[in-house]
Amino acid sequence: MERMRVGVGRRDTEHIPEEALQRIISTLANKNDEIQNFIDTLNQTLKGVQENSSNVLSELDEEFDSLYSILDEVKESMINSIKQEQARKSQELQNQLSQCNNALENSEELLEFATRSLDIKEPEEFSKAARQIKDRVTMASAFRLSLKPKVSDNMTHLMVDFSQERQMLRTLKFLPVPKAPEIDPVECLVADNSVTVAWRMPEEDNKIDHFILEHRKTNFDGLPRVKDERCWEIIDNIKGTEYTLSGLKFDSKYMNFRVRACNKAVAGEYSDPVTLETKALNFSLDNSSSHLNLRVEDACVEWDPTGGKGQENKMKGKENKGSVHVTSLKKHTRSGTPSPKRTSIGSRPPAVRGSRDRFTGESYTVLGDTAIESGQHYWEVKAQKDCKSYSVGVAYKTLGKFDQLGKTNSSWCIHVNNWLQNTFAAKHNNKVKALDVTVPERIGVFCDFDGGQLSFYDASSKQLLYSFKTKFTQPVLPGFMVWCGGLSLNTGMQVPSAVRTLQKTENGMTGSASSLNNVTQ
């Protein structure tokens, strides 16, 4: 007993590290969340059962009412046919009966006349009467009548036998419903911002006419959530057993998919939902630290020669009202636009109070609002056609507010200059490498943080423009510089397959940051 008490005491005093307790709490919280989601699913299913049962009962009443209506119509038609046949035969028999009665009356009158003629004693009168009788007999209708009824009393040709129909009605049953398809996650493919979903039927069903695929975005792994989720989007009339959704913006971590089979009459049960990962880098431009000569929205930035007054008002409105007033971007001509070397720092309005590290001076820079700390990421940038100068790249968070992209050891970029003379170059640590390639309409940026690689591509052809090799020592942010023009971003993109393939053969075939060491701007 003493040993047992000692053992119990040790368990009571056993030290559980805080990290272990945090893991237990996290596990319990996740399990509770999972159970709550299942409860929500059950409640929604129960509600669906009640609603759908009411719907099918109503449809059943309508179908039987329609069937009753058809039977009443057929019955009424058959009754009319019998009555018409009865009237036709009755009329025929009445006509024939009337003719016979007339003939009989005439014949009886003639018979009476002939009988009286037998009593005539005068030969001449008798002969005259006999001739009259003969003529009348010859013309008598009684001798021209058909003594056969024109119609019979038989009505069996209008009798019915519904034994087959009754048997058929007894076999009435609910429509055959296709079984639920099975989505095969192994055969599904997520690549190049497209998703291919493949499925199969558990058994062959040659009555299937088409399939319906439903999908929606979510940030939760596992079973689809009932609450706080987007609506299912529907793709109908799919004839095959796979479908590809292309041109997607991956702005959620996952996508849910489910499919159902349809015959000519009804749709079957949904397949078990499948959740596919659609993770990609999504970021907006950081409005709070951008240069006041830049007008910034979530995915576009434009040079603003007015000195950012609209930006200041926007930030103040955000602070006072909790909402952002987005000023429409305007294009500006070259005339009247100051050179970046001549812009007066003193002429600019002060930064909005409360902002931190807002770029100023000649650093017409804006950074992304999401740091890259690991993994491979890709985004695209498109410049306005009349943009005079812009840079695209990445920078450490420590980039100074006066620092320009590519002019410090904490930023890497490619720079396009269309002012005075056209240049296209890679920049890092105030070193420049001229690029002997055409500036593409859209520039793709590939950042391999763990591999220490930053590459730029023609977004359309996936031609490599330039690649930096380095070792990132701290998180980086997408960085952009623009003067006299504007840039628009496209995020939520996977690393394209073509880029991944090129990465395997890129090493040793392109320039790198080391090639900039001896080339000074």
Based on the domain organization, do 129 and 38 belong to the same domain?
Answer: yes
Confidence category of residue 265, pLDDT binned at 50, 70, 90: confident
pLDDT at 176: 83
pLDDT at 228: 61
What is the C-alpha separation between 479 and 413, in angstroms, rounded?
8
Confidence category of residue 127, pLDDT binned at 50, 70, 90: confident
* pLDDT of 145 above 70: yes
Based on the domain organization, do 193 and 127 belong to the same domain?
Answer: no
Based on the domain organization, do 137 and 224 belong to the same domain?
Answer: no
pLDDT exceeding 90 applies to what percent of the chain?
51
* pLDDT of 340 above 50: no
Based on the domain organization, do 211 and 121 belong to the same domain?
Answer: no
Q: In sequence order, what DSSP letters do the residues of 395-419 get, joined into one string? A: EETT--TTPPTTSSTTEEEEEEE-S
CB neighbours of 125 closer than 8 A, spacing ≥ 6?
none
With respect to residue 313, please indicate whether it lies within any of the assigned structural domains. no
* pLDDT of 481 above 60: yes
Confidence category of residue 435, pLDDT binned at 50, 70, 90: very high
Based on the domain organization, do 502 and 376 belong to the same domain?
Answer: yes
With respect to residue 476, please indicate whether it lies within any of the assigned structural domains. yes
Three-state DSSP at 385 gives coil
Based on the domain organization, do 120 and 204 belong to the same domain?
Answer: no
Average pLDDT, the chain: 83
Domain of residue 444, CATH code: 2.60.120.920
- 162-171: pLDDT as tens digits: 889 888 888 8
* pLDDT of 334 above 50: no
Confidence category of residue 133, pLDDT binned at 50, 70, 90: confident
* pLDDT of 328 above 80: no
Based on the domain organization, do 125 and 197 belong to the same domain?
Answer: no
- 456-469: pLDDT as tens digits: 999 999 999 999 99
Q: In sequence order, what DSSP letters do the residues of 203-262 get, joined into one string? A: S--TT--EEEEEEEEES--SSPPSSS-PPPEEEEEE-SSEEEE-S----SSEEEEEEEEE
Based on the domain organization, do 140 and 188 belong to the same domain?
Answer: no
Lowest mean pLDDT among 312-316, 479-483, 506-510: 312-316
With respect to residue 299, please indicate whether it lies within any of the assigned structural domains. no
pLDDT exceeding 70 applies to what percent of the chain?
84
**Into how many domains does the chain fold?**
3
Based on the domain organization, do 222 and 134 belong to the same domain?
Answer: no
Q: Show which of 144, 167, 190 is a domain's final residue.
A: 144
**Listed residue (139, 119, 138) closest to 129, CA to CA:** 119
With respect to residue 163, please indicate whether it lies within any of the assigned structural domains. no
What is the C-alpha separation between 287 and 258, in angstroms, rounded?
39
Confidence category of residue 332, pLDDT binned at 50, 70, 90: very low
Strand pairing category for 431-434 and 423-428: antiparallel
pLDDT at 424: 95
Own/partner contacts of 231-237, CB < 8 Å, gap of 24 or more, are 232/256, 232/258, 236/210, 236/212, 237/210, 237/212
Based on the domain organization, do 415 and 486 belong to the same domain?
Answer: yes
Based on the domain organization, do 472 and 421 belong to the same domain?
Answer: yes
- 38-74: pLDDT as tens digits: 888 888 889 988 998 998 899 889 989 999 999 999 9
Q: Show which of 127, 144, 161 is a domain's final residue.
A: 144
What is the C-alpha separation between 233 and 218, in angstroms, rounded?
13
Q: Give the range of the structural domain holding residue 106, as residue numbers without chain letter.
A: 32-144
With respect to residue 8, please indicate whether it lies within any of the assigned structural domains. no
With respect to residue 161, please indicate whether it lies within any of the assigned structural domains. no
Q: Show which of 95, 121, 144 is a domain's final residue.
A: 144
pLDDT at 325: 33
Based on the domain organization, do 139 and 211 belong to the same domain?
Answer: no
With respect to residue 516, please indicate whether it lies within any of the assigned structural domains. no
pLDDT at 443: 97
- 370-406: pLDDT as tens digits: 999 999 999 999 999 889 999 999 999 999 999 999 9
CA gyration radius, the chain: 48
**Listed residue (214, 253, 301, 308) closest to 479, CA to CA:** 301
Lowest mean pLDDT among 35-39, 246-250, 343-347, 511-515: 343-347
With respect to residue 432, please indicate whether it lies within any of the assigned structural domains. yes
* pLDDT of 327 above 60: no
- 272-311: pLDDT as tens digits: 999 999 989 999 999 999 999 999 988 999 999 886 554 4
Domain of residue 208, CATH code: 2.60.40.10
